[in-house]
Chains A and B, each alone.
Chain A
Amino acid sequence: MRTPWASVLLVPPLAMILLFFVAPVLYLFWVSLHEASSSELYGAALTVQNYVGVLGDSFYLAIIRRTLGVAAVILGLCVLIGYPVAYFVALQPPRRRMLVLLLLLFPLMVSNVVRAYGWVAILGRRGVLNTSLGSLGLIDGPLDLLYTIPAVVVGLMTILLPYMVISIANTLATLDRSYEEAAQALGASPFRTFLHVTLPLSTPGVASGTLLVLLLTLSAYVTITLLGGPRSKLLVSMIYDGVTAFQWPHAAALAFILLALALALTALILSVLRPGRVQGTGR
């Protein structure tokens, strides 16, 4: 099967990846190790001050903590809401399941910017929620709903929930029914069957959904900016601010800190859920 030709076919995509992905990332890392310069992309002197400065600054540490907190809450909500929905979707006959999944994909066809403005219209001081609560006499003055962390969480979660549902539903739908029947034949009630068999066997779907939601949360920008405003910034917002202030090396260092966080969290999720143990290979 292995012919010299097979490796030749790998050359174009490999070259593309090296040229357009690996090389820029390495260059960015190189940038992050330099002083800032007022006229160039980066200054002449090598330094680790960009990293030390961020990690020793309580302001940035608070932003990192806030970023991790927001990601954790969004992940938790997505799993808690997404799993039951996915379970329901997986129970549907194949044709209806396709329809429901298409329906779930529908919101993804609308731009995040548009959807964020939709939330602005709902949550704003003169938004739908405040005016209707006010006219019902339930509140005296408008509530500060917009430009808060909860607004960011709600906005991101509604965008990311379909990823979680689709991931879990696909795993559940392709699960061999005989596992559940085997558990019942051994005396497990439907609830214990779910707990001891269905749930562990669906970890590949939970893992891929969790990773998708996590990485999309960490890299989200528009939603955070529009719903969080200037007071509820996350790590990505700081990178953008660094770039607009021409602090290129500082922004590059923040980007690598974000990357390190994403990799560490990915490793953590995979080691906790261990999706490989139910997929036939590895552990």
Chain B
Amino acid sequence: MNDAQADVRLAAVTKSFGPVVAVDNVDLEIRRGTIFSLLGPSGCGKTTTLRLIAGFERPDAGEVYIRGERVTSIPPYRRNFSMVFQSYALFPHLNVSENVAFGLRMRGMARADRARAVNDALELVKLDALADRYPRQLSGGQQQRVALARAIVIRPAVLLLDEPLGALDKMLREEMQIELRSLQQRLGITAVFVTHDQEEALTLSDQVAVMRNGVIEQTGPPREIYDRPRTEFVAGFLGASNFLAGTVVALEGGTAIVETPAGRASLLADSRIGDRVRIAIRPERLRMMRDDGLGLPARIRDIVYRGPVTHFYMDSAGGPLLSYQQNAGAQDWSVGDAVRCTWDPESAVVLDSGCA
């Protein structure tokens, strides 16, 4: 991928605040027309990364490019981006259409063109009826839409979103996620989305970068990040995972047999006999069988009913195990039952060593 396709590129960017390295030698490329999520716990450097793209922070080292132009030393107001803030930051002294028009006014657009562009943007977010209202007269969801309209109306090279849905309740948040996604695809916007909500990142993004301690641990499409996590942190941050440690004792075709304290398990990996490995299995991939067949023996410690699924917490000799079972058919497990846990070899993932 070259710069012509990448709307945003960070090259070896580092930023420290005093002794704390907030962003540590980060490289990333964001392709035109895609949503790129920066996902991680608070303090992982995701917001700082966003602010480095915006220019609100200057990197200690490395370069920032927007549409192929090096902007590292260019102030924010001359960079080609716009931003939706967590608090929305709608100007309280301006009404909805004046808020949306602000960026166009700063760009010196003629009044008539401005009015048309503002109206179009408000129609896109279905708020054209509220153009004369002031921000304080709007609900949280409406304020969110105004912030979005204000950001897209200037047709930026990249739209930066700093946890924009964080202040909304769950129902509204899911609605806005879908709306945001369809809006982005219709307009072909390039967007960088900062969130600590893994579900939101998976729903919205074309690419997800999982950050921890200022470092990007893994970048990839949502499915790859979720199904093939490379590190224990990524596996644990995006949903729950079962972790087992063991040694490869046999190879059968592409399948490796791993000896774990709980028993033997099989997985797809190009390992050698004798390798120490750490594997992760998603709870929904972990099947539970009656205690008479193959699989890792375990005992049910706790059962939590969650509506569509039931969570089974189990103990095995290799550590705790968790399984999600669909509540489609009849299931009559009870606490204390002995079970056998199995999974398909392709469901288990070998994690990078050293990141345990």
Docked Cα-Cα span, A179 to B90, in Å, equals: 7
Docked Cα-Cα span, A247 to B187, in Å, equals: 79
Is B154 a contact of A179 with CB atoms below 8 Å? no
Residues of B within 8 A of A188 (CB): 77, 102, 106
The distance from the CB of A95 to the nearest CB of chain B, in whole angstroms, is 16
The distance from the CB of A168 to the nearest CB of chain B, in whole angstroms, is 16
Q: How many residues of A contact B (CB 8 A)?
A: 25
Is A178 a contact of B89 with CB atoms below 8 Å? yes
Docked Cα-Cα span, A277 to B92, in Å, equals: 7
The distance from the CB of B78 to the nearest CB of chain A, in whole angstroms, is 8
Docked Cα-Cα span, A187 to B156, in Å, equals: 11
Residues of A within 8 A of B81 (CB): 185
Could you say which of A179, A200, A280 contacts B89, with CB atoms under 8 Å apart?
Answer: A179
Residues of B within 8 A of A197 (CB): 91
The distance from the CB of B134 to the nearest CB of chain A, in whole angstroms, is 7
Is A182 a contact of B106 with CB atoms below 8 Å? no
Within 8 A of B (CB), among A121-163: none
Residues of A within 8 A of B76 (CB): 181, 184-185
The answer to whether A278 has its CB under 8 Å from any CB of chain B is: yes
Residue of B nearest to A280 (CB): B136
Is B136 a contact of A182 with CB atoms below 8 Å? no
Is B91 a contact of A182 with CB atoms below 8 Å? yes
Could you say which of B56, B90, B102, B103 contacts A181, with CB atoms under 8 Å apart?
Answer: B56
Contact string against B for A residues 163-205, beta-carbon threshold 8 Å, 1 for contact and 0 otherwise: 0000000000000101101111111111011001100110100
The main secondary structure of chain A at its interface with chain B is helix
Is A186 a contact of B85 with CB atoms below 8 Å? no
Residues of A within 8 A of B83 (CB): 181-182, 185
Is B82 a contact of A186 with CB atoms below 8 Å? yes
Docked Cα-Cα span, A280 to B56, in Å, equals: 27
Could you say which of A179, A185, A187, A203 contacts B54, with CB atoms under 8 Å apart?
Answer: A185
The distance from the CB of B92 to the nearest CB of chain A, in whole angstroms, is 5
The answer to whether B87 has its CB under 8 Å from any CB of chain A is: yes
The answer to whether B306 has its CB under 8 Å from any CB of chain A is: no
Contact string against A for B residues 30-68, beta-carbon threshold 8 Å, 1 for contact and 0 otherwise: 000000000000000000000000101000000000000
The answer to whether A281 has its CB under 8 Å from any CB of chain B is: yes
The answer to whether B150 has its CB under 8 Å from any CB of chain A is: yes
Residues of A within 8 A of B170 (CB): none
Is A181 a contact of B134 with CB atoms below 8 Å? no
The answer to whether B93 has its CB under 8 Å from any CB of chain A is: yes
Residue of B nearest to A200 (CB): B93
The distance from the CB of B236 to the nearest CB of chain A, in whole angstroms, is 32
Docked Cα-Cα span, A203 to B93, in Å, equals: 10
The answer to whether B186 has its CB under 8 Å from any CB of chain A is: no
Residue of A nearest to B80 (CB): A187
Is A181 a contact of B89 with CB atoms below 8 Å? yes
Contact string against B for A residues 20-48, beta-carbon threshold 8 Å, 1 for contact and 0 otherwise: 00000000000000000000000000000
Q: Which of A178, A185, A203 has the most CB of B within 10 A?
A: A185
Is B102 a contact of A185 with CB atoms below 8 Å? no
Residues of A within 8 A of B92 (CB): 201, 277-280
Residues of B within 8 A of A193 (CB): 77
Is B136 a contact of A179 with CB atoms below 8 Å? no
Is B77 a contact of A182 with CB atoms below 8 Å? no
Is B106 a contact of A187 with CB atoms below 8 Å? yes
Residues of A within 8 A of B77 (CB): 184-185, 187-190, 193
Residue of B nearest to A192 (CB): B106
The distance from the CB of B20 to the nearest CB of chain A, in whole angstroms, is 17
Docked Cα-Cα span, A281 to B87, in Å, equals: 18
The distance from the CB of A189 to the nearest CB of chain B, in whole angstroms, is 5
Is A176 a contact of B102 with CB atoms below 8 Å? no
Docked Cα-Cα span, A185 to B103, in Å, equals: 8
Is A176 a contact of B150 with CB atoms below 8 Å? no
Q: Which of A179, A182, A183, A281 has the most CB of B within 10 A?
A: A182
Residue of B nearest to A277 (CB): B93
Docked Cα-Cα span, A278 to B56, in Å, equals: 25
Docked Cα-Cα span, A183 to B54, in Å, equals: 12
Is B136 a contact of A186 with CB atoms below 8 Å? no
Is B89 a contact of A182 with CB atoms below 8 Å? yes
Is B154 a contact of A186 with CB atoms below 8 Å? yes
The distance from the CB of A227 to the nearest CB of chain B, in whole angstroms, is 39
Closest CB pairs A-B (n = 5) = A186-B103, A182-B89, A178-B89, A187-B106, A185-B83
5 contacts between A and B (CB under 8 A): A176-B89, A178-B87, A181-B76, A184-B77, A277-B134
Chain A interfacial positions (CB closer than 8 Å to B): 176, 178-179, 181-190, 192-193, 196-197, 200-201, 203, 277-281
Give 13 A-B pairs besides A178-B85, A178-B86, A182-B89 with Cβ atoms closer than 8 angstroms: A179-B89, A182-B83, A182-B85, A184-B76, A184-B77, A186-B150, A187-B78, A187-B107, A188-B102, A192-B106, A197-B91, A201-B92, A279-B92
Chain B interfacial positions (CB closer than 8 Å to A): 54, 56, 75-78, 81-83, 85-87, 89-93, 102-103, 106-107, 134, 136, 150-151, 154, 160
